[in-house]
Amino acid sequence: MNKEIIGVIGAGTMGGGIAQMFAENGFQTLLWDVNDSFVNKGIENIQKRLNKSVDKGKLTAERAKDILSRINKADDLSKFSSANLIIEAIIENYDIKAELYKKLEKIVGAETIIGTNTSSLSVTDLSSNLASPERFLGIHFFNPPTKLELVEVIATPTLSQEVTQKVSDILTRCGKSAVNVNDSPGFIVNRLLLPFINEAAKLLDSGVAKAEDIDTAMRLGTLHPAGPLQVADLIGLDICKDILEKLAESLNQPNYKPAKSIVDLVKAGKLGRKTGEGFHAY
């Protein structure tokens, strides 16, 4: 049993998945959100995923129960005073995150590491809101965190090397492969993946091919396990749109602006797998 306590702030898709991943790997995990009902919903979704794995024979009922027992609801931020590592996975809003970090620093110990799962904001800019920025870094998981091996560990100019090593060691114990990235818009994956998705959407906009054919071509022609529009549906088209807009702004590159089909689908509430329809129907 791992003695470290992991705190996760934000019980949505990513936060809940991150908490579940740590619990699956033996860590005691605290989960908090701004509303108690959000935490309850997050734990309920974790239980559903675990039950699904039991039904498929991937987990025993006893193992699922054991995992769930390691996820504890934090009814107040003060509960994070005992955490060794805290990962923030809340809304991509700079001001809300900044306010949260200032509250956290008044609660946690000097050795507590604070990480953000942001996919589009500057980790360096976010770190400026802490009195001890050397303990703050980006820890960017991919959806679903329980299955995808990669984690981007994003460094700022003030980050302590010791903190980087501690986080990398924890991730390795969870079976993750950490890649080190200097803070830059989109880091590695999103900087390469989102323009790829956007170009596929632009092909659709131009009537070059249907979504199914674009995805089939890229799967079979480039050995990708899924086509770019299928990946966009998995990520969530609202998230894709938001990241593309932030990349366009931060890099001053108009070509990153989201394709019309992405914008139109988001306006229609068709966000991909999570709503049952996006570029494809589910």
Mean pLDDT of the 245-262 span: 95
Express each pLDDT in 168-194 by its tens digit: 999 999 999 999 999 999 999 999 999
What pLDDT does residue 3 have? 72
Active site residue 280: no
Cα 141 to Cα 178: distance, rounded to the nearest angstrom: 10
Which whole number is the average pLDDT over 120-144?
95
What average pLDDT does the chain have? 95
- Residue 37 pLDDT class (50, 70, 90 cuts): very high
| Residue in 122, 168, 190, 198 annotated catalytic | 190
Whole-model pTM: value is: 0.91
In DSSP notation, 178-243 reads EEEEES-TTTTHHHHHHHHHHHHHHHHHTTSS-HHHHHHHHHHHH--SS-HHHHHHHH-HHHHHHH
| Angstrom distance (rounded) from CA 66 to CA 24 | 9
Identified catalytic residue from 84, 119, 120, 198: 119
> What structural domains does the chain harbor?
5-182 (3.40.50.720), 191-275 (1.10.1040.10)
Mean pLDDT of 159-163: 96
Is the per-residue pLDDT at 133 higher than 80? Answer: yes
pLDDT band at 210 (very low <50, low <70, confident <90, very high): very high
| 119 catalytic residue (yes or no) | yes
Active site residue 37: no
* Token reading at 21: 């991943």
At 151 the pLDDT is 98
For the residues 241-251, what does the mean pLDDT come to?
93
Give 162: exposed, middle or buried? Use CB within 10 Å, 0-12, 13-18, 19+: exposed
| Choice among 120, 140, 168, 261 that is catalytic | 140
User: Which tops the pLDDT comparison, 131 or 143?
Assistant: 131
Interval 96-114 mean pLDDT: 95
Residue 143 has pLDDT above 90, yes or no: no
Q: What's the pLDDT score for residue 134?
A: 97
What residue type is 108 in one-letter code?
A: V
The label of the residue with tokens 């995805």 reads 215
Q: Predicted confidence band at 2 (pLDDT cuts at 50, 70, 90)?
A: low
Catalytic annotation present for 190: yes
Set 152, 168, 198, 261: catalytic member: 152
